[in-house]
Amino acid sequence: MARILAVLIGIVLIFIGVAGFVPTFTPDGKLFNYFTPSALHNIIHIITGVIAIMAATKESTARLYFQVVGIIYIAAAVWGFWKGGDLYIMQVTLADNIFHVVFGVIALLIGFGKRSEEG
């Protein structure tokens, strides 16, 4: 199951990253009217998505991906809340921080959750 979710989440992250570069998705400079995209932030989402798809080759690798990325996204959210959105290399908004918390928790649940019988 983690393999399938890694592919799906990888596609979503790549879409989010690419959409940040497309003016149609960023009216008034806001991605989907909530997120303030930057080139670095978009690239990070694209890279994270590509790694997710690459990790989907094995169940154990997909689970490891979710464990590591979940911790990283939660850490980025905590850092973003703590520093008021200043991550030094980029700025994040409240919407970004909330997205990072939600995605991080989901990733950790997938990564550390109960293993399926099928292996």
User: Could you tell me the residue ranges of all domains in the chain?
Assistant: 2-112
Radius of gyration of the chain (CA): 15
Work out the pLDDT band at 119, boundaries 50, 70, 90: very low
The amino acid present at 17, given as its one-letter code, is G
At 12 the pLDDT is 96
Which ranges of 37-93 would DSSP assign to H, the alpha helix? 39-55, 59-82
> Tokens 């905590």, residue?
78
Q: pLDDT tens digits, residue range 7-41?
A: 999 999 999 999 999 999 998 889 988 898 899 99
Q: pLDDT tens digits, residue range 52-75?
A: 999 999 999 999 999 999 999 999
* Whether 6 contacts 66, CB under 8 Å: yes
> Tokens 């990564």, residue?
111
At 117 the pLDDT is 56
Whether this prediction's pTM lies above 0.85 is answered by yes
* Whether 100 contacts 73, CB under 8 Å: yes
3-state SS class at 20: coil
